[in-house]
Amino acid sequence: MINIVSIIVILSGIVLGLFIAQYAAYILKKNEKLASKYTICIALVHTLMYGLVYIIYGLSITGALYLLLTTALLGLSIVDWCSYEIPIQFNYFIFGLGIIRVATDSNHWLGYIIGMLLVSGIFFVIVLATNGKGMGGGDVKLMFTVGLLLGWKKILLVMLLGSVLGSIIHIIIMKVHNKDKMLAFGPYLSLGAYLTVCYGDKIINWYMSYIRNIAR
């Protein structure tokens, strides 16, 4: 049933979707605005993503934080896909959401701090080991900020989903275009984060139940 809150969420999805499309164009330093069809597509995708998050979390602090995270993830994905860079302002914004998350769920603060350092630490080691060729610093910062918002269990799932999706989709893209293409990891990590936001609890609970059944 559609109520006033649902309408507000839908309108917010449309307006912020239009905004994020133009903001991405601005960051990419395009003289012209994004083509209307792409702006509309981005707004539509953003609204659908908003709707799913709202259906799952309803009117809550967690839901509001995840809606705003969705906007940031879509925006940085567009920019990273086009430029292979994740603008720092997106990470600042997500970090702010993480601080609010810790403040509103202070009983589990340690899990958020571990989440902030866990995957970002792994990625940082990869950056050092490959001299920045295997992964960019933007991916490290992204996992640092998203980890603070989601906590250690979910950020591990983000890493897993992002890596699997990135490998599969990137191979398909290279096969289709029949040439090597540089991997922009941010969009895949963002997709992994969004899927974790929506289905992470179910996936983690299923996995833990599976492990317990094997251990019996």
Q: What is the mean pLDDT of residues 18-46?
A: 79
Q: Among 20-24, 74-78, 110-114, 156-160, which stretch is predicted with the lowest mean pLDDT?
A: 20-24
Band (34; pLDDT cuts 50, 70, 90): low
Q: How far apart are alpha carbons 85 and 128 in whole angstroms?
A: 18
pLDDT, residue 175, reads 82
Domain layout of the chain by residue ranges: 4-215
Band (6; pLDDT cuts 50, 70, 90): confident
Triad 183, 185, 186: Cα angle to 5°:
135
Tens of pLDDT, residues 60-93: 999 999 999 999 999 999 999 988 899 999 999 9
Q: How far apart are alpha carbons 82 and 89 in whole angstroms?
A: 17
Band (31; pLDDT cuts 50, 70, 90): very low
pTM value > 0.85: yes
pLDDT, residue 110, reads 97
**Full DSSP string of the chain:** ---HHHHHHHHHHHHHHHHHHHHHHHHTT-SSPPPHHHHHHHHHHHHHHHHHHHHHH-SSHHHHHHHHHHHHHHHHHHHHHHHS---HHHHHHHHHHHHHHHHHSGGGHHHHHHHHHHHHHHHHHHHHHTTTSSS-HHHHHHHHHHHHHH-HHHHHHHHHHHHHHHHHHHHHHHHHHTS-----HHHHHHHHHHHHHHHHHHHHHHHHHHHHHHH-
Q: How far apart are alpha carbons 44 and 209 in whole angstroms?
A: 36
Q: Which residue has the higher pLDDT, 182 or 171?
A: 171
Q: Among 21-35, 79-93, 135-149, which stretch is predicted with the lowest mean pLDDT?
A: 21-35
